Amino acid sequence: MIKSKTSRIGDLIIAAICIFIIFICLLPMLNILARSLSSAETLVRNEVLLWPKGLNFDAYRFVLRDSKYTWSLAWTAILTVICTIFSMTMTILCAYPLTYDKLKGRRFFNLMILFTMLFNAGTIPTYLLLKDLRILNHPLVLIIPNCLSVFYMIIMRTYFYSIPEDLRDSAEIDGASPFRVLIDIYLPLSKPVLATLSLYYAVGRWNGFADALMFMNDRRFYPIQLFLYNILKSVSSIEIATQEGFTMPGLSQSIQAATVMFATVPILLVYPWLQKYFIAGTTLGALKD
Q: State pLDDT tens for residues 202-227.
A: 988 988 888 888 898 888 888 888 88
Q: Are 135 and 144 in contact (CB under 8 A)?
A: yes
Please tell me the predicted confidence (pLDDT) of residue 45: 76
Of the pLDDT bands very low, low, confident and very high (cuts 50, 70, 90), residue 55 is confident
73, pLDDT greater than 90: no
Please tell me the predicted confidence (pLDDT) of residue 2: 60
DSSP result, 86-112:
HHHHHHHHHHTGGG-TT-TTHHHHHHH
Q: Are 184 and 119 in contact (CB under 8 A)?
A: no
3-class state of residue 72 by DSSP? helix
* Residue 205 included in any domain: yes
Does residue 248 or residue 108 have the better pLDDT? 108
195, pLDDT greater than 90: no
* Residue 18 included in any domain: no
* Residue 37 included in any domain: no
Nearest residue to 223 via CA among 62, 59, 67, 79: 79
What per-residue string of b and e applies to 262-275 under the rule 16 or more CB within 10 Å gives b?
Answer: bbbeebeeeeeebe
Contacts of 8 (CB under 8 A, 6+ apart): none
143, pLDDT greater than 70: yes
* Residue 2 included in any domain: no
246, pLDDT greater than 50: no
Please tell me the predicted confidence (pLDDT) of residue 277: 63
74, pLDDT greater than 70: yes
Phi/psi-derived region of residue 135, left when phi > 0, alpha when psi is between -120 and 50, beta in every other case:
alpha
* Residue 49 included in any domain: no
Please tell me the predicted confidence (pLDDT) of residue 287: 44
Distances (CA, A) of 174 to 90, 167, 180: 27, 11, 11
DSSP 8-state symbol, 138:
S
Of the pLDDT bands very low, low, confident and very high (cuts 50, 70, 90), residue 250 is low
3-37: pLDDT as tens digits? 677 778 888 899 999 999 988 888 888 888 888 88
Question: Could you tell me the pTM of the whole model?
Answer: 0.79
Residues spanned by the domain of 195: 60-286
* Count of the separate structural domains present in the chain: 1
CATH number, position 110: 1.10.3720.10
* Residue 36 included in any domain: no
* Residue 51 included in any domain: no
* Residue 110 included in any domain: yes
